[in-house]
Amino acid sequence: MMNLARAGLACALLVSLSGCATTTPEATAPAAAAAAVAPPPPYTGLASGSLGGSLDAVSRTAANNAEIAALNSGERKTWRGDDGAYGYVAPGAATGDCRELSHTIYINGRPQIGKGTACRAAGGWKLNS
């Protein structure tokens, strides 16, 4: 009987201690927080300047997104805005971290062309003036 009581006590003690764990603050911090990187600044492209001065906000965003896609892929990208404006971005060959680009925007059927060079910066692209 005594051995049975001791075995029960030992089991109860083990069960109560099994829920305890030693952790350090580093072990409880989320891994994402440790690897957090600031997002790249918003891209301000050719369409954000005088080239796209008469574009509405939706068309300007579509034009800038096409610039980013063309810079990333090295392939021509087209876009169409809500206000009837449309255009295409033709990227040049990459030179190191930079790439030339030509952006043609059609507003009321009339083409407007802008050219520039963008370079990789802070995880994104930055248009050089």
pLDDT digits (tens, 9 = 90+) for 62-100: 999 999 999 999 999 999 998 899 999 999 998 999 999
In sequence order, the β-bridge partners of residue 86 are: 80, 106
Residue 120 has a CB neighbour count (10 Å cut-off) of: 16
Instruction: Say how far apart CA 90 and CA 68 lie, in whole Å.
Output: 11
When pLDDT is averaged across residues 34-58 and rounded to a whole number, the result is 76
The residue among 98, 91, 103 whose CA lies nearest residue 126 is 98
Residue 82 has what pLDDT?
86
Entry pTM: 0.67
| Buried-state track 45-59, b at ≥16 Cβ within 10 A, e below 16 | bbbbeebbeebeeeb
